Amino acid sequence: GIQVEQSPPDLILQEGANSTLRCNFSDSVNNLQWFHQNPWGQLINLFYIPSGTKQNGRLSATTVATERYSLLYISSSQTTDSGVYFCAAQGGSEKLVFGKGTKLTVNP
Amino acid sequence: NAGVMQNPRHLVRRRGQEARLRCSPMKGHSHVYWYRQLPEEGLKFMVYLQKENIIDESGMPKERFSAEFPKEGPSILRIQQVVRGDSAAYFCASSPGSNLQPQHFGDGTRLSIL
């Protein structure tokens, strides 16, 4: 089945800095989603982005399906951005396959 | 516009007891998925259901675990004779149809086994 790898595994930023998180996947995808898991464990849906580019406030994402990767950009980071960011991909089956996540810590 | 509703949010059981986790999908969604997140890990797929049918249970342990999505009412994930290793966060997701649409997740149920 499809495999999903995320990098970096850990990222520490100072408030106001920008960052890029990467997600590589091993096969063509029908669905790719980015999530933020906050310190309370809730899973927040950030983007549904099987291809192309989307923006939502300080966050944007780009998926290049032909090269099998997706990027999540966080600009002007805030302490509330801390948590774990997951990428999840769906290939030929209905299930989402999650990466291991990038743990982001934003210090004031 | 209610999202995916899971309850309870937290559940504590002793070894050997049964755990029942409930999930009400978003209005208009007929596809339900259950995922498990062990401590410090990503989410892993367990089972995919449509109304009254299990479509894919390839991620479900063969024993003690079962899932249903009846014609009326929420989807239920049932774990019999729980063991310490079942301690995890269990997430439910729903979608309106095929895998060309995003899955929407609930807040999860945190199961702790004493």
Residue A52: name the closest of A64, A60, A42, A40 by CA. A64
Alpha carbons A20 and B22: distance in angstroms, whole number: 36
Q: What confidence tens digit (pLDDT) does each residue in A35-81 have? A: 999 988 999 999 999 999 999 999 999 999 999 999 999 999 999 99
Alpha helices for B48-95 (secondary structure H): none
Whether B1 shows a pLDDT value over 80: the answer reads no
Contact indicator for B59, B44 with CB cutoff of 8 Å: yes
Give the per-residue pLDDT at A59: 97
Token reading at A22: 């990467």
First to last CA, chain B: 36
Give the per-residue pLDDT at A94: 82
Token reading at A65: 């399906």
B 15-54 → A contacts, CB under 8 A = 31, 33, 35, 41-45, 48
B100 interface with A at CB cutoff 8 Å: yes
Q: What is the DSSP letter of B40?
A: T
Cα nearest neighbour of A6 on chain B: B42
Q: What confidence tens digit (pLDDT) does each residue in B28-44 have? A: 899 999 999 998 888 99
Average of per-residue pLDDT across B3-26: 97
Give the type of residue at B98.
S
Give the per-residue pLDDT at B41: 85
Set of chain B residues whose Cβ sits within 8 Å of the Cβ of A88? 43
